[in-house]
């Protein structure tokens, strides 16, 4: 039984509704890709074997195009090669960010060598990282431009924050959510990251209050809000449990000094938790809301939480973000 059939069978225990299924190409889809580096090659594990390569068909074409030439340039420099063990890529669709990760501190001479490499590419920015150290060669923030039928928005991201990995399904996820909204007023969003859903959904609601515990993500989201000239989004660096405490008036937070939570008329809560799923505090908080949007990267924790939430599944979309793997992304509308 394949992963889609398996999940649908489990879902039938909780709802009679049939999910919408969104498939992905098996190649060229990844906006983020991580590779080991060994023996002058990119590496990845496949069937418990280490594969050596100069390029991969899985990343977005903009990354594929750069990989072989970047490898050639890296292998020309003993300084760049020394103690290099991993290379991470992410793309805006046109500009590529490559992070070189080391088992040694990086000195000024590394920056000079990295600049020489970067000068060979038109749409590449390099970052060097080692333990507790980040070295910038150029800009570190990528500007992702996404267009749907009704709006265009720009989202800043970098190599320290989560962003949707499937370049093509991301816009379909936004479209799926937008089409399911009924009587939207104000939105509470937990685990908002750098605004992958916050920014495109802002035009659908009167106001949005978005929280996230990662300080890098919140910084980028605030910059993106300015970049898009949006005035209906407020953000706070709060964890899920802290957000629940703030809304229940259990404790006050200095980070909320200029935000009047009581002025919101929340019609929806959106949650996009990590693989572990929702905390008990978040589940309790969600019971205050008529409409819930649950975005899950782990079907197992999603099915577990559905039982605890005790809500009706109104609609559900399954997004096969990673072709030929066991991973699925789920978006459910719950009443």
In tens, the pLDDT along 262-296 reads 899 999 999 999 999 999 999 999 999 999 999 99
Model pLDDT for residues 143-152, shown as the tens digit of each residue: 887 655 456 7
194 tagged catalytic: no
Residue of 189, 212, 234, 297 with catalytic role: 297
In sequence order, which ranges of the chain are alpha helices (DSSP H)? Answer: 3-11, 61-75, 78-81, 108-118, 169-180, 198-201, 215-227, 240-247, 280-286, 299-309
Distance CA 271, CA 280 (A): 13
Is position 241 within any domain?
yes
Do 205 and 105 sit in the same domain of this protein?
Answer: no
Check which CATH number belongs to the domain holding 105 and give it. 2.40.50.1070
Do 9 and 87 sit in the same domain of this protein?
Answer: no
Domain span at residue 113? 32-142
281 tagged catalytic: no
Do 187 and 329 sit in the same domain of this protein?
Answer: yes
Distance CA 297, CA 274 (A): 7
Residue 283 makes CB contacts below 8 A (sequence gap 6+) with 305, 308, 309
Is position 151 within any domain?
no
Residue 211 makes CB contacts below 8 A (sequence gap 6+) with 189, 190, 191, 192, 235, 236, 237, 238, 239, 240, 242, 243
At residue 326, the pLDDT reads 82
Do 198 and 295 sit in the same domain of this protein?
Answer: yes
Do 20 and 45 sit in the same domain of this protein?
Answer: no
What is the token pair recorded at 309? 């939430």
How far, CA to CA in Å, does 6 sit from each of 1, 10, 11, 225, 300? Answer: 6, 6, 9, 40, 11
Is position 191 within any domain?
yes
| pLDDT over 90 percentage in the chain | 80
Do 135 and 277 sit in the same domain of this protein?
Answer: no
Which of 125, 142, 159 delimits the end of a domain? 142
Q: How many domains does the chain have?
A: 2
Asked whether residue 127 carries a pLDDT value surpassing 60, the answer given is yes
Between strands 266-271 and 291-296, the pairing is: parallel
pTM of the model: 0.92
Ordered DSSP codes for 226-264? HHTT--SEEEE---HHHHHHHHTTSS--GGGTT--GGG-
Which of 142, 176, 192 delimits the end of a domain? 142
Model confidence band, residue 237 (pLDDT cutoffs 50, 70, 90) = very high
Is position 156 within any domain?
no
Distance CA 212, CA 197 (A): 13
Do 179 and 323 sit in the same domain of this protein?
Answer: yes
Is position 147 within any domain?
no
Is position 328 within any domain?
yes
Do 252 and 269 sit in the same domain of this protein?
Answer: yes
Is position 160 within any domain?
no
Residue of 189, 212, 242, 329 with catalytic role: 329
SS3 296: strand
Taking the CA of residue 12 as centre, how many other CA atoms within 13 Å lie in the half-sphere pointing to its CB? 6
């Amino acid at each position: 039984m394949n992963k889609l059939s398996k999940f649908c069978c489990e879902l039938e225990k909780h709802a009679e509704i049939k999910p919408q299924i969104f498939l992905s190409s098996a190649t060229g889809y990844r906006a983020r890709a991580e590779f080991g580096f060994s023996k002058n090659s990119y590496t990845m594990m496949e069937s418990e074997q280490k594969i050596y390569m100069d390029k991969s068909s899985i990343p977005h074409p903009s990354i594929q195009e750069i990989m072989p030439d970047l490898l050639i340039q890296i292998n020309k420099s003993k300084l760049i090669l020394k103690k290099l063990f991993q290379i991470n890529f992410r793309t805006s669709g046109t500009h590529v960010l490559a992070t070189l990760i080391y088992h040694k501190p990086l000195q000024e001479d590394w920056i000079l060598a990295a600049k020489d490499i970067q000068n060979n590419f038109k749409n590449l920015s390099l970052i060097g990282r080692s333990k507790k150290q980040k070295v910038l060669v150029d800009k570190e923030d990528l500007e992702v431009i996404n267009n749907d039928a009704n709006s265009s928005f720009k989202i800043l991201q970098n190599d320290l924050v989560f962003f949707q990995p499937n370049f093509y399904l991301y816009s379909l996820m936004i479209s799926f959510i937008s089409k399911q909204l009924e009587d939207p007023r104000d939105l509470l969003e937990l685990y908002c990251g750098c605004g992958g859903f916050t920014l495109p959904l802002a035009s659908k609601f009167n106001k949005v209050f978005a929280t996230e515990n990662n300080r890098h993500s919140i910084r980028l989201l605030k910059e993106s809000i300015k970049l898009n000239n949006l005035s209906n989004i407020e953000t706070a660096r709060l964890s899920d449990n802290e957000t629940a405490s703030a809304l229940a008036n259990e404790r006050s937070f200095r980070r909320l000094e200029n935000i009047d939570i009581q002025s919101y008329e929340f019609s929806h809560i959106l949650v996009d938790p990590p693989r572990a799923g929702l905390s008990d505090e978040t589940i309790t908080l969600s019971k205050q809301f008529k409409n819930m949007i649950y975005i899950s990267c782990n079907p197992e924790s999603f099915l577990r939480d559905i039982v605890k939430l005790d809500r009706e599944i109104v609609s559900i979309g399954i997004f096969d973000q990673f072709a030929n793997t066991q991973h699925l992304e789920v978006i459910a509308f719950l009443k």
